Homo-oligomer: A and B are copies of this chain.
Amino acid sequence: MTTHTTQEGSAPKGLEPLEASFPSSHKIALPVEHGGFTMQVPKRRIHVSAGEPPVDVYDSSGPQGCDLRQGLPTPRAEWVRGRVPGPGGNVSQMHYARKGVVTEEMAYVAVREGCDPEFVRSEVARGRAIIPANVKHTELEPMIIGRNFLVKINSNIGNSAVSSSIEEEVDKLSWSVRWGADTVMDLSTGPDIHRTREHILRNAPVPIGTVPIYQCLEKVDGKIEDLTIDLFLETLEEQCEQGVDYFTIHAGVLLRYVPLTAKRVTGIVSRGGSIMAKWCLAHHEESFLYTHFERICELMKRYDVSFSLGDGLRPGCLADANDEAQFGELETLGELTQIAWKHDVQVMIEGPGHVPMDKIKENIDKQIEVCHEAPFYTLGPLVTDVAPGYDHITSAIGAAMIGWWGTAMLCYVTPKEHLGLPNKKDVKDGVIAYKIAAHAADVAKGHKGARDWDDALSKARFEFRWQDQFNLSLDPVTARDYHDETLPAEGAKVAHFCSMCGPHFCSMKITEDVREYAREKGVVDGEALDAGMAEKSAEFLKQGGEIYR
- Residue positions of A touching B, CB distance < 8 A: 160-163, 189-190, 214, 217, 222-225, 255-263, 265-271, 273-275, 277-278, 281-284, 316-319, 354, 356-358, 383-390, 392-394, 396-397, 400-401, 404, 415-416, 418-421, 423, 432-433, 435-437, 439-441, 443-446, 451, 453-455, 457-459, 461-462, 469-470, 472-475, 478-479, 482-487, 498-508, 510-515, 517-519, 521, 523-526, 528-529, 533-534, 536-537, 540-541, 545-546, 548
Contacts and interface: CB of A to CB of B under 8 A. Distances in A.
A118 B418 CA distance: 42
Contacts of A394: 436, 440
Contacts of A217: 504-505
A507 B274 CA distance: 5
9 contacts: A161-B505, A255-B529, A261-B514, A261-B515, A278-B510, A317-B461, A319-B458, A386-B436, A421-B500
A150 to B, nearest CB: 13
A444 B281 contact: no
A522 B511 CA distance: 70
B482 A416 contact: yes
Contacts of A400: 357, 383, 397
Contact of A161 (B386, B441, B475, B502): B502
A273 B501 CA distance: 14
Q: What secondary structure prevails in chain A residues at the interface with B? A: helix
B267 A189 contact: no
A534 B317 CA distance: 31
B358 A445 contact: yes
Nearest to A492: B162
A391 B437 CA distance: 12
A501 to B, nearest CB: 6
Contact of A474 (B162, B273, B386, B533): B386
Contacts of A453: 386
Contacts of A384: 436, 439-440, 443, 454
Contact of A385 (B385, B457, B533): B457
A504 B215 CA distance: 12
Contacts of A517: 259, 262, 281
Contact of A537 (B214, B283, B528): B283
B268 A540 contact: no
Interface centre among A260, A510, A515, by most chain B C-beta atoms within 10 angstroms, is A510
A419 B388 contact: no
Nearest to A442: B384
A443 B163 contact: no
A470 B455 CA distance: 41
A510 B259 CA distance: 13
A351 B499 CA distance: 23
A262 B524 contact: yes
Nearest to A265: B458
Given A189-B505, A383-B400, A420-B487, A518 B262 contact: yes
A505 B272 CA distance: 9
B319 A545 contact: no
A175 to B, nearest CB: 17
Contact of A545 (B163, B224, B502): B224
A421 B273 contact: no
A316 B462 contact: yes
A524 B259 contact: yes
Given A357-B441, A514-B262, A499 B418 contact: no
